Amino acid sequence: MQENDQILDSPIQDEESFRTAVLDFLEGNCERVKESESSLEDDPERVKECRKFQKELHEAGLAALSYSKEYGGAGLTKKHQELFDEIAREWRLPNSPLYISHGMCLPMLDQYGTDEQKKTFMKECISGEKIWCQLFSEPGAGSDVASLSTRANKDGDEWVISGQKVWTSGAHYADLGLVVARTDPSLPKHKGLSMFIVDFNDPTVEVKPLKQISGGSGFNEVFFNETRVPSNRLLGDLNQGWNLAVSMLMFERVSIGAGGGSLTADRSPTLIELAKTLNKNTDPHIRQILSDLWIREKIRRFIGQRVRDSVAAGRVPGPEGSIAKLNGSLLARLFRDASMEIIGTSGQAWEIGDEEAEKWAVGCLAASGVSIAGGTDEVQRNIIGERVLALPKEPDPYKGASWDSVPRN
């Protein structure tokens, strides 16, 4: 660890030239923004724009900076990625459809993939040529995701996957997915799972978009109808899927809570601007709300920095991902309430086509998903209670029982 910390603290050798290269690219390819774009949009035009952008970023040698050149990365350090993210925060990067590909799937491939898998998949994932999604949740397995019942049965040299997933973000434009399925129902629920790389162009994979309260359709139901997957598409070891899933969830929590990208960008400046525009910046109550939000966002930045530094130092993200995620969820609600307080009736009705006004109402409705996605607030609190505070676990009457003997819905 100490060695890693030293690497982390040492300055980047080529900092100035790297900074120039990044700025040159951003100036040529992006617009400067005051605020981040919302993620997980469903517009096909944006997915197209994203692929084009990512291809150029990759060709410029600025994609997946800390990943090995052999697998399509830039072969630089995590510190470079940090610096890139810091500079890029001032710009609108049209790459939000890659949030899951790069925030969750890429680190999983890198950490658990065989050399063959890395060679086959990582480069196209990095360049945006192939977009990935992740499939954990099922209708009967939400918070209790380990009880999931999508089956993968061995048939000769193939696995046959059958079952239903739900709340799958981006599945409607994904090319590939990481799927957790049950490979041995006679083992306890956490022990009989495995993770597979599944091709979404396979006709037995059926994707149905869900309509959301905010009007969008960012996520989907996904059906696997005896989908056949070659055995070299198993990621990690057989029946070790839960460990992989946990580490992927940690990557997700880190992304949502501490990623340093659009999901964790400071939003109080936008709100301060809004308050100014609406002449509410002299209102003492509004000023208190804004100050409170500003302080909390500053704390989030510190938490995020700690988590990212820890990951950059080579540590696998642990329960601090839960702290970051829970904090991000609280902040999303605070921001929502503050924005509605400031915008007043314009949060209720807006001229058709007035995207600027509509965005506040949509943002307000979208905020409620943050406390669910990637593990609910309650799940995060349980993790913090058990793993950070070392409180005893809640008694589980089914502990150690085989999955097929435990009741579930």
Place of tokens 């100014």: 276
Q: Which listed residue (68, 114, 143, 305) binds another protein by CB under 8 A?
A: 143
Place of tokens 């593990």: 375
Q: Which of 252, 320, 356, 386 is catalytic?
A: 252
Could you give the angle at which helices 284-312 and 78-88 cross, rounded to 10 degrees?
Answer: 160
Told to check if 361 binds another protein by CB under 8 A, we report yes
* Rounded CA separation 371/67 (Å): 31
DSSP string, 142-172: STTGGG---EEEEETTEEEEEEEEEEEETTT
Told to check if 203 binds another protein by CB under 8 A, we report no
Q: Which listed residue (213, 295, 316, 388) binds another protein by CB under 8 A?
A: 213
* Rounded CA separation 63/84 (Å): 10
Which range of residues in 60-68, 80-88, 170-178, 374-382 is near another protein by CB under 8 A? 374-382
- Torsional sign, CA 408, 256, 340, 349: negative
Q: Which listed residue (141, 176, 312, 383) binds another protein by CB under 8 A?
A: 141
Which range of residues in 227-235, 251-259, 313-321, 333-341 is near another protein by CB under 8 A? 333-341
In whole angstroms, the minimum distance from the beta carbon of 43 to another protein comes to 17
Q: Which listed residue (54, 101, 371, 380) binds another protein by CB under 8 A?
A: 371
Q: Which listed residue (92, 368, 386, 387) binds another protein by CB under 8 A?
A: 368
How are beta strands 132-135 and 158-169 bridged, if at all? unpaired
**89 token code pair:** 């925060």
Helical ranges in 164-203 per DSSP H: none
Q: Which is nearer to another protein, 230 or 344 (CB)?
A: 344
Q: x/- contact string, 294-313, with another protein (CB under 8 A)?
A: --------------------
* Rounded CA separation 59/82 (Å): 20
Report the candidate in 194, 109, 208 with the shortest Cα–Cα distance to residue 160: 194
Is residue 90 part of the annotated active site? The answer reads no
Q: Which is nearer to another protein, 107 or 257 (CB)?
A: 257
Cβ pair 67, 110 in contact under 8 A:
yes
Q: Could you list the residues that contact another protein (CB under 8 A)?
A: 137, 141-144, 147, 166-167, 210-214, 278-279, 285-286, 333, 337, 340-341, 344-352, 354, 358, 361, 364-365, 368-369, 371-372, 376-378, 381, 396-398, 406-409
Active site residues per annotation: 252
